[in-house]
Structure 1
């Protein structure tokens, strides 16, 4: 046998030159076959026309080489001199390589390969692809997704590189000067406040030391480190007090509050522990431990207790921990450290001596020179596009009704088109923004054709990653931590399963919709690295980049920090969650009532509707009735258990409330194809009444494990409340306030001013991307947080105007 093999090898070597000549001839004949097959000569065609078409076709064939790569089918080698056929393809040896060939009308033709799925067995020149549902057959015929720069295969998305220079908007010197003056008009009062605060603290230090002039010690703080108050966690910009014994730092605002008697953290604060009563309680069902024999019930009770102990809530609240700071103010107004209990708080500074006072003098000189305060924009100034009662003028489509407040001029929200803002409608935006009104920008995503990247299938493929190394085999980014909106506990789910349920839906055991949400995933520091194309597309499509661009926004105060300083996390942040059109009240996919510490823009980039059949709708209605009966029973038991004095303050939510019922605005486009999320944004001036309502009715709300909220530390910052439609009606009845309520459609960007509490409920599965920014108009609302940004922003504005004036 071995002799025969050796003989074959020798024969093969001798025949090699002849085989090469034959293969070359085969390739020439093959190209001629392809041309002949596709262009049959008709009787009325001349030889010149045929030759011309052949030449054109030859150039086309030669200019479209097949991309190398693995095909969708496994390659089959020759067996006993024969060729194996797989998926209609024959693997033929051409030269030193094997190529797949397709048999068409008895002729072998080299097929073209799909760039996306790497398959070669597709029929026709152009094949519609399910991964680009928005592209028509004609669109792909004109240019493929790779040529259009919108290919969403994993390789293209990961290798996508685009310079920040394509995102940055170049400003003329005149524009920069006007923007600098605009910032100084709003930031100079903050700078003066910082200077006055420092001078007052210097006087206190002089009294403590008994000297007329004091020398303030320098604090050691490298530029790449962030110094913050250990009590309130806000940044320290310059003057502060530091313990002489330990490393505890205290900002000037906290020092003032200690001397005034309002000790920060000095109140008795409780963190409530929520009891996990099991899944049966959450769904208002009869627990399984009440059925069967006594022994069975005992075993089931033990199982429920053990499983409840291992279920970790999303915010991991501790139980009734009493926190009381031991700040002590001495007779000479010095402060004893609450951390170590022995040291004294010593006044220190970060910036050079007189740095703030010198900057204030330079800024005031510019303000006087250009008369910046002679024509301020009053917050109550009425926009020219509204009439006397605050409703949009006839024929104006750039407004959206959002509330039914009586005798108010702000029931309508400004809704410009993205192209209008790009064309320079900045002043109109600023008139509404300075009054603390949200702004909705329409059709943000229409400016870019590459919006297919936000589809759930693409997101799943982009974010999922498995390690192929031997040491890290089986690891990688395959799972993610989600929050279950029923009990607000964290659950580990596979990325592919999460996005599959994003498209198809998920249910509890009793057909109640199961809502999962991902918050800030992937993390902001990994967003640009793992999703470079998504990052660039999002930043490029942002409206009003002078405010919103996280790196180059000239009017974004957060970009004014020194290059080496530690920057705050401003995003982009991704929020991916399921949704349900009908208000469930219990287990809704919501972002609970909260208030951001900076301005924000939130863009809805993807919406996917999940169908619900009639059988599930019937089960949902049955479950709602059980929930209402459980609410009624628990409230009656609470009032009977020695809480009769609270009966005037606590009311049971039902549909038969007596008395006058106020109407609140309900959008009529909740069921449209592009509708994604329902927003409620409250005005800043309504915050005190809103807080009072939540404290009064806190027991009507549920939080962890669907347990009732027993105590309230801060009604808004606790993030435990979501006001349903019934609660919004009752809020208006009792306190006369109402939020702006509107539906965010796909491709719309919502500007949320800082200081405005807001909540969101998903009507469908939604993907939102948000970026925080700090605008000059709203600096007063978060002055305590942005003192450092303010100083550096004023310095840059002063430097530029002075340079331009010389």
Structure 2
């Protein structure tokens, strides 16, 4: 019989089992180790282990702390993939965790925020990536020439485009360089450019070029110009701001494109400008820090004011090289092209368009396939299409719930007044309906491939206006001057259309509030609007009793300050569809001020971008007399294409029911 030296408990030899020693592994955890050594060696081993430290608990803590030294990682997923202690960006705050696809490219902090990783899905905020520690590759196509795959430009077109955009690029570079000068590279957030995602300023919704400010708590982004305006807001103004970000002191400068890439690009641009003997020395104008407008915006405005003399030019036959196919409306201010394929027509268009002057092109409908653009064709296609278009009431500016029945009645009433929808909640008035921006969610090429092909083959000045598309397995390239087609392939190109705009005559409106078919507004892109069909509304089963609407239209035209050449077209039997009023982009400020006073707009609203104002004849007369602002009153007849420069305020009133197709470029 043996005796246990520790407990003095007798036991038989048969009961002896291997003894488990307690030991600490390298990770600080207690492990059991089988051992068949003698009791005395067990005792000695444990004694040595305990004597090697003040206590086993201290050893355990030390080993565990060694394990928990964090690893610095870059946030690869959307914020919702991380524990709740990691702050969410504004996109992730408002989205469902199940909305996986959107967040893979939509999260503000993805690929630019760094986290401390402790293992076992435990994270803490660490910081943000900078150009110094940046390792992720950028899309190669971001800086690769002609990654869009368009045909090479000839040297004349290339130099023409280059001289117009290169100086602007140098100005933008200087603008951003000035902003960066107060920071070092270690403090500027370097964000990965996400292919297929458009980054915009959350204040003004303008696409961001490169440098901008980002809130480190929620990812709210503002452009440099908006940041200048926000700096000088009072506490009360900031409190009343509609911004979604309350963290006024958490903004940090951020950029998408490595600055050394832009330095190299600017050097190449300057070299080529020098070879072309084009002055690139652009000085930023000094401006008081109390002003809301940034230095950059002020520079552009002063530059535009200097060039405004060309925009106000009264054109003559000398400017058209005495071309009999080019005439001028609006007392010589509006160039009108009766033909657009000749070399001289393209030369004159390029000259007048570069000044920011609107242009009218006649007789486009004669080139189109007539049967494709009839109301019956659109009615059949839209009713069969899965995406039901949204209809709007022109008088209330509100959408109308649309189904197949409502859409059928809309088309049945296109030229038949007695079957039009009525607003039973407001005395049964006849609704003035419009269908705009259609297709709203899909590319026109996928919904109307044949119409697009017909339009692109016949659209005026196609070097500027033609877009790329595929038709019957044949790829067609965009026009050489349509520079959106030459954006890097990784960028999200804006949806420039074309889009359909279909609406009734506005002359039958019974509303007290002034409203147009399209109220006063501004587009950020150049655009062309083609009137492809004009329908005269009448009574009777077939709408043939239409004399009343014709008389109304003639009366409206005669009191709208339309000049003689346009009135002659009416007398010659051409069918007018819409009345346009366009303004120079430089007059936008004066127009805003007038609308704000005359229409009593609320402070803080944009009197043009709100699209709630329509200027009637008395408004236009007051603008001319008080502010020296004169519009381009223009009749759009069947087949006319109106070219609208970007930034030019304009409004439209349908005289008859119209089908128009518009494309930005």
TM bucket, shorter chain: 0.5 to 0.7
1:347 paired with 2:239, answer no
Q: How many residues align?
A: 463
Matches within 5 A, 1:595-606: 595-606=522-533
Secondary structure of 1:679's aligned partner: strand
Alpha-carbon distance change, 582 to 498 in structure 1, aligned in 2, over 3 angstroms: closer
State the partner residue of 1:481. 390
1:253 paired with 2:234, answer no
Of residues 461, 465, 490, the one that matches 2:384 is 465
Of residues 372, 376, 383, the one that matches 1:453 is 372
CA contact 2:580–2:653 (8 Å) conserved in 1: yes
CA contact 2:213–2:253 (8 Å) conserved in 1: yes
CA contact 2:325–2:338 (8 Å) conserved in 1: no
1:578 paired with 2:504, answer yes
State the partner residue of 1:525. 442
Of residues 523, 526, 545, the one that matches 2:462 is 545
State the partner residue of 2:214. 242
In 2, Cα distance between the equivalents of 1:618 and 1:604? 22
CA contact 2:392–2:434 (8 Å) conserved in 1: yes
Of residues 416, 431, 453, the one that matches 1:514 is 431
Alpha-carbon distance change, 258 to 688 in structure 1, aligned in 2, over 3 angstroms: closer
State the partner residue of 1:499. 411
For residues 128-186 of structure 1, the C-alpha deviation after alignment (integer angstroms, 9 at most, x for no partner) is xxxxxxxxxxxxxxxxxxxxxxxxxxxxxxxxxxxxxxxx9997x6x622111111211
CA contact 1:511–1:619 (8 Å) conserved in 2: no
CA contact 1:680–1:759 (8 Å) conserved in 2: yes
1:565 paired with 2:491, answer yes
CA contact 1:664–1:738 (8 Å) conserved in 2: no
Alpha-carbon distance change, 250 to 378 in structure 1, aligned in 2, over 3 angstroms: closer
Of residues 558, 565, 581, the one that matches 1:680 is 581
In 2, Cα distance between the equivalents of 1:185 and 1:609? 47
In 1, Cα distance between the equivalents of 2:262 and 2:612? 41
Secondary structure of 2:415's aligned partner: helix
In 2, Cα distance between the equivalents of 1:217 and 1:503? 59
1:195 paired with 2:173, answer yes
Give TM-score scaled by structure 2 length.
0.62
Secondary structure of 2:577's aligned partner: strand
State the partner residue of 1:386. 316
State the partner residue of 1:432. 352
CA contact 2:579–2:652 (8 Å) conserved in 1: yes
State the partner residue of 1:556. 482
Alpha-carbon distance change, 324 to 609 in structure 1, aligned in 2, over 3 angstroms: closer
Of residues 747, 756, 765, the one that matches 2:657 is 765
Of residues 519, 524, 536, the one that matches 1:609 is 536
1:323 paired with 2:241, answer yes
In 2, Cα distance between the equivalents of 1:524 and 1:436? 30
In 1, Cα distance between the equivalents of 2:360 and 2:532? 14
In 1, Cα distance between the equivalents of 2:560 and 2:337? 30
- Larger deviation: 596-605 or 457-466? 457-466
Of residues 330, 334, 337, the one that matches 1:402 is 330
Secondary structure of 2:219's aligned partner: coil
CA contact 2:188–2:252 (8 Å) conserved in 1: no
Alpha-carbon distance change, 723 to 218 in structure 1, aligned in 2, over 3 angstroms: same
For residues 45-96 of structure 1, the C-alpha deviation after alignment (integer angstroms, 9 at most, x for no partner) is xxxxxxxxxxxxxxxxxxxxxxxxxxxxxxxxxxxxxxxxxxxxxxxxxxxx
In 1, Cα distance between the equivalents of 2:508 and 2:149? 42
CA contact 1:515–1:589 (8 Å) conserved in 2: no
CA contact 1:601–1:771 (8 Å) conserved in 2: yes
For residues 411-450 of structure 1, the C-alpha deviation after alignment (integer angstroms, 9 at most, x for no partner) is 43111124x33546222112211222110111223223x2
In 2, Cα distance between the equivalents of 1:378 and 1:695? 27
Alpha-carbon distance change, 523 to 424 in structure 1, aligned in 2, over 3 angstroms: farther
Matches within 5 A, 1:717-736: 717-736=609-628
In 1, Cα distance between the equivalents of 2:377 and 2:578? 21
State the partner residue of 1:112. none
In 2, Cα distance between the equivalents of 1:224 and 1:457? 38
Of residues 746, 751, 771, the one that matches 2:643 is 751
CA contact 1:695–1:712 (8 Å) conserved in 2: no
In 2, Cα distance between the equivalents of 1:688 and 1:717? 12
Q: In the TM superposition, what is the alpha-carbon distance from 1:230 to its structure 2 partner?
A: 2.4
Q: In the TM superposition, what is the alpha-carbon distance from 1:266 to its structure 2 partner?
A: 8.0
Q: In the TM superposition, what is the alpha-carbon distance from 1:507 to its structure 2 partner?
A: 6.8
CA contact 1:231–1:254 (8 Å) conserved in 2: yes
CA contact 1:576–1:768 (8 Å) conserved in 2: yes
Q: In the TM superposition, what is the alpha-carbon distance from 1:609 to its structure 2 partner?
A: 0.9
**Runs of 5+ unmatched residues, structure 1:** 1-167, 207-212, 270-321, 326-337, 404-410, 467-475, 622-660, 700-708, 774-806
Alpha-carbon distance change, 342 to 401 in structure 1, aligned in 2, over 3 angstroms: closer
Secondary structure of 1:520's aligned partner: strand
CA contact 1:456–1:503 (8 Å) conserved in 2: no
- Larger deviation: 683-692 or 357-366? 683-692
In 2, Cα distance between the equivalents of 1:235 and 1:726? 37
State the partner residue of 1:147. none
Question: Which has the higher relative contact order, 1 or 2, with Cα contacts under 8 A spaced 6 or more apart?
Answer: 1
Q: In the TM superposition, what is the alpha-carbon distance from 1:353 to its structure 2 partner?
A: 3.5
Q: In the TM superposition, what is the alpha-carbon distance from 1:194 to its structure 2 partner?
A: 1.9
Aligned CA-pair RMSD: 4.0
In 1, Cα distance between the equivalents of 2:197 and 2:323? 54
Q: In the TM superposition, what is the alpha-carbon distance from 1:258 to its structure 2 partner?
A: 3.5
Alpha-carbon distance change, 323 to 464 in structure 1, aligned in 2, over 3 angstroms: same
Q: In the TM superposition, what is the alpha-carbon distance from 1:663 to its structure 2 partner?
A: 6.6
Q: In the TM superposition, what is the alpha-carbon distance from 1:543 to its structure 2 partner?
A: 1.5
In 1, Cα distance between the equivalents of 2:539 and 2:620? 27
In 2, Cα distance between the equivalents of 1:616 and 1:511? 22
Secondary structure of 1:346's aligned partner: strand
Q: In the TM superposition, what is the alpha-carbon distance from 1:234 to its structure 2 partner?
A: 2.0
State the partner residue of 1:416. 337
